[in-house]
């Protein structure tokens, strides 16, 4: 950059016996034809407009000085652009704001690029409504809605002074803000202040919305987990319901069979001494099964009774053991007979 400026100085100022004035510098820059240093403004009408706007800016704000330097766009292309740099002193109680106003290749039909120079002593606010903290780029209402011929550099700087007097871009220890009454503001100033207030309100609303979204996301995760548990529980209950329905069907069928049997074997029509005759085996295996079950359960009852009497001392232990041995032997042969016939011992449970 310093090398470029030294070459530009040699190119533009060699024809001057004394350092050129700002107007002479602008004329020399706009008339330069060197392929290395010439700016990209080629249309005569565009050149006249740029000269008029720059001269008007420097007359209205003498703190600004013209310059021509390489500018790199966001897409990486570099071009030599005229620019005006200086400091804005918006009030005596605030630090000055160093600005650089770059004239775009298509100026004045494209808005100039305005940057706030970084300041070590006064860093830029992180959430300033009009200044991007990392690059210093300004995006005020005036620039966003730039339209030629209604807009020019002098009015732009005037607008920046107004908005920065209410919302200074630097961190500093402010004194009491100047009193502001809406009736004293122009339409553009009112729009700028409204944009600023809307920006802060939107920032606060976005922050609250972000917190609410985080809270709702956490709640959603909990609801999803509960829904999974509920679905699992419903599936379990549905399976249990199906099993119960099948069991009810089985029990209903058994109850129907029992009702049918009771109708055929009505106790009131059978003499008391013949009730047991109602339970008759239909074949030889069934008869053997009934006899074995009756004998097995009778043996169990007898052994249980012997356990009680031996505990009370009514029967001697030797007699008890002898009787239990005989009963167990008979019970074993009865169960072996069932196994030999292929009948499951589950009937004895």
Name the CA dihedral angle for 185, 198, 150, 115, rounded to a multiple of 10 degrees: 110
Please give the residue range of the domain that contains residue 110. 2-172
How many independent structural domains does the chain possess? 2
Confidence of residue 266 (pLDDT cuts 50, 70, 90): low
CATH number at residue 38: 3.10.110.10
DSSP assigned state of 124: B
Establish if 248 belongs to a structural domain.
Answer: no
Show the tokens assigned to 340: 């030999």
Regarding whether 156 and 9 lie in a shared domain, the answer is yes
Asked whether residue 345 carries a pLDDT value surpassing 80, the answer given is: no
Confidence of residue 197 (pLDDT cuts 50, 70, 90): low
CA distance 330 to 342: 19
Establish if 107 belongs to a structural domain.
Answer: yes
Regarding whether 155 and 12 lie in a shared domain, the answer is yes
Closest CA to 110 of 99, 119, 102: 102
Establish if 210 belongs to a structural domain.
Answer: no
For residue 177, what pLDDT is reported? Answer: 47
- Mean pLDDT score of the chain: 80
Query: What percent of the chain clears pLDDT 70, i.e. is strictly above it?
Result: 78
pTM given for the model: 0.50
Establish if 189 belongs to a structural domain.
Answer: no
Q: Element (H or E) spanning 303, and its range?
A: helix 284-312
Query: What percent of the chain clears pLDDT 90, i.e. is strictly above it?
Result: 22
């Amino acid at each position: 950059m310093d090398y470029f400026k030294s070459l530009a100085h040699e190119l533009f100022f060699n024809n001057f016996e004394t350092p050129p004035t700002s107007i002479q510098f602008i004329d020399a820059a706009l008339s330069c034809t060197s392929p290395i240093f010439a700016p990209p403004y080629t249309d005569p009408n565009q050149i006249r407009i740029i000269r008029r706007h720059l001269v008007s800016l420097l007359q209205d704000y003498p703190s600004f000085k013209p310059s021509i330097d390489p500018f790199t766009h966001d897409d990486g292309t570099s071009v030599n652009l005229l620019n005006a740099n200086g400091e804005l002193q918006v009030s005596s109680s605030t630090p000055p704001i160093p600005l650089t106003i770059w004239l775009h290749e298509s100026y004045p039909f494209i808005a100039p690029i305005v940057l706030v120079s970084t300041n070590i002593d006064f860093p830029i606010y992180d959430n300033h409504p009009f200044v991007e903290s990392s690059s210093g780029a300004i995006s005020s209402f005036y620039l966003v809605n730039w339209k030629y011929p209604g807009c020019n550099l002098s009015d732009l700087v005037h607008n920046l002074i107004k908005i920065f007097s209410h919302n200074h871009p630097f961190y500093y220890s402010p004194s009491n803000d100047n009193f502001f009454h809406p009736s004293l503001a122009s339409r553009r100033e009112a729009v700028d202040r409204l944009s600023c207030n809307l920006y802060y309100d939107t920032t606060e609303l976005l922050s609250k919305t972000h917190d609410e979204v985080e809270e709702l996301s956490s709640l959603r995760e909990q609801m999803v987990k509960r829904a999974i548990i509920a679905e699992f529980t419903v599936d379990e209950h549905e399976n249990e319901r199906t099993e119960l329905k099948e069991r009810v069907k089985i029990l209903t069928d058994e109850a129907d069979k029992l009702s049918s049997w009771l109708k055929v074997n009505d106790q009131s029509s059978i003499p008391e001494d013949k009730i047991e005759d109602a339970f008759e085996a239909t074949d030889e295996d069934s008869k053997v099964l009934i006899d074995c079950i009756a004998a097995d359960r009778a043996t169990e009852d007898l052994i249980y009774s012997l356990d009680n009497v031996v505990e009370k001392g009514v029967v001697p232990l030797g007699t008890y053991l002898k009787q239990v041995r005989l009963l167990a032997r008979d019970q074993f042969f009865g169960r072996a007979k069932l196994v030999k016939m292929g009948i499951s011992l589950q009937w004895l449970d």
